Amino acid sequence: MTNADFEKLVDTSDEWITTRTGIKERRIADDKMTSGDMAVEACRRALEMANCPREEIDLLVVGTVTPDYRLPSCACVVQEKLGLPNAVAFDVVAACAGFISGLSIASSFIESGAYKKILVVGTEKLSAFTNYKDRNTCVLFGDAAGAAVVAGDNGDRGILSTYLKSDGRMRPLLWAQVGGTANPYTPDFQFNGSDKIWMNGSDVFKVAVREMADAIRKVLDKAGVKASQISLVVPHQANIRIIEALAKRLKVDMSRVYRNIEMFGNTSAASVPLALDQANRAGMIKEGDYVAMVAFGGGLIWGAALVRW
Ligand code: UT7
């Protein structure tokens, strides 16, 4: 969907969306395609790229807030469709920080020796969860999936450090109030947007900039790496102004910060792996580079991961 499409739906303009968010287009999955379907495709390509047989995957972690069903997990759907006979599969509900949370879980499990090859995927069909009557939110979101195979045999390369933090007191800043056990659907539920994403954008904006910068500093400190050594920052793509403010706080030039928000909008848990994959395929990451990933989302929850490529 382009900004012109939104001009027909709500009181907005290409000019407002471009200058306030940096978004020009988003990808919208068709009616029949689920988050699980997108995850299967992303996992298939990640396994191919890693030259990893499906039988070797012993854990699948799916970051999503838009699972195919209320029960079971999206991960179990993906396990069945992809065919991972030797894995245990579960979801992580960490909104836009879903992929970073998955990486952190994978890294800890590998360090402990519990699992050896782990598939981490972020997948979201946010279009199913978006109120297309609310101009404050509808222009922001898109659908996508991205995946990575995490393994523990790369010497001094791989995930060097991760950091996760949440503050549940701020959950009313970004939530969908109706549809859970707190406010279940009633037989006479009438659509008013309360079961879709609602956000206080400007408050979330301020916390996002502060905490994403802090999260990156935390993973750098843990690994004994300086901000000046980072080759590429791969931030969650929520708003170009957030990304620019983050770069300024870290004193990292924008040429070292990956952006694809213009084409995809905010794809929640899929945002970081999608950006990482595009940056990698564009040849922007070389062996030995320090890559810092960072994300922030509903919860509120945020986190970062530092990788030596
Ligand atoms: O991924 C999870 C984390 N999410 C984020 O990090 C998102 C963080 N927030 C943001 O990216 C920005 O806050 C938004 C893009 C959501 C909004 O930008 P803003 O500069 O913070 O605008 P605002 O919410 O302060 O609204 C400014 C004005 C308001 O009008 P009034 O009240 O000043 O008359 C809004 O109603 O802009 C209006 N507005 C719009 N106008 C045209 C809000 N959305 C639109 C729109 N088109 N689509």
CB 64 within 8 A of CB 35: yes
Q: Find out whether 97 and 125 touch, Cβ atoms under 8 Å.
A: no
- How far is it, in rounded angstroms, from Cα 109 to Cα 242? 32
The 10s digit of each residue's pLDDT in 223-256 is 999 999 999 999 999 999 999 999 999 999 999 9
Q: What is the mean pLDDT of residues 262-278?
A: 98
Instruction: Compute the distance from residue 89 Cα to the ligand 1 centre, in Å.
Output: 37
Query: What kind and span of H or E run contains 41?
Result: helix 35-50
Q: For 163-201, b where at least 16 C-beta lie within 10 A, e where not — what string?
A: bbebeeebeebbbbebeeeeeeeeeeeeeebebbbbbeb
Task: Quote the ligand 1 centre to 240 CA distance (angstroms).
Answer: 13
For ligand 1, mutation pick of 202, 207, 272, 302 (most atoms within 8 Å of CB): 202
What does the pLDDT look like over 122-157, one tens digit per residue? 999 999 999 999 999 999 999 999 999 999 977 889
Residue 32: how many CB atoms within 10 A of its CB? 6
Q: Which of 20, 131, 244, 259 to mutate to test the pocket of ligand 1 (most atoms within 8 A of CB)?
A: 20
Say which residue, 112 or 156, is predicted with more confidence: 112
Delimiting residues of CATH 3.40.47.10 domain(s) in the chain: 3-156, 159-308
pLDDT over 80 at 219, yes or no: yes
> At 40, which helix (H) or strand (E)?
helix 35-50
Is the separation of the CB atoms in 166 and 139 below 8 Å?
no
- Which residues surround ligand 1 with Cβ inside 6 Å? 12, 16-17, 20-21, 96, 135-136, 139, 201-202, 204-205, 208, 238-239, 242, 266, 296-297
Nearest CA owner, ligand 1 atom 5: 238
Closest ligand 1 atom, residue 241 Cα: 11
Give me the CATH code for the 159-308 domain, please.
3.40.47.10
Query: Which residues lie below 8 Å from residue 167, measured CB to CB, with a gap of 6+?
Result: 299, 300, 301
Q: Quote the ligand 1 centre to 308 CA distance (angstroms).
A: 36
Q: What distance in Å separates the CA atoms of residue 23 and residue 141, rounded to the nearest whole number?
A: 9
Alpha helices in 113-260 (DSSP H): 135-138, 201-223, 240-250
CA 28 to chain CA centroid, Å, is 16
**φ and ψ at 163, to 5 degrees?**
-150, 135
Instruction: Report pLDDT for 37.
Output: 98
Predicted confidence at residue 179, as pLDDT, reads 94
What residue owns the CA closest to ligand 1's atom 28? 136
Residue nearest to ligand 1 atom 47, measured at CA = 12
Architecture of domain 3-156: 3-Layer(aba) Sandwich (3.40)
pLDDT digits over 3-56, tens only? Answer: 999 999 999 999 999 999 999 999 999 999 999 999 999 999 999 999 999 999
Only one residue has tokens 């800890």, namely 108
Whether a cis peptide bond, with omega within 30° of 0, leads into 72 is yes
pLDDT tens track for 180-200: 999 999 999 989 999 999 999
Q: How many helices (H) and strands (E) does the chain have?
A: 10, 10
Residue nearest to atom 41 of ligand 1 (CA): 12
Is pLDDT at 221 greater than 80 in this prediction?
A: yes
**How remote is the CA of residue 201 from the centroid of ligand 1, in Å?**
6
Give distance in angstroms: CA of 139 to centre of ligand 1.
Answer: 10
Minimum CA distance residue for ligand 1 atom 38: 136
Mutate to test the pocket of ligand 1, among 166, 167, 205, 267 (most ligand atoms within 8 A of CB): 205
Which residues are the active-site residues?
Answer: 96, 236, 266
Cα radius of gyration (the chain): 19
In the predicted model, what is the mean pLDDT of residues 263-287?
98
pLDDT in tens, 86-96: 999 999 999 99
93, 82, 108, 122: which is closest to 180 by C-alpha? 93
* CA–CA dist 31, 125 (Å, integer): 10
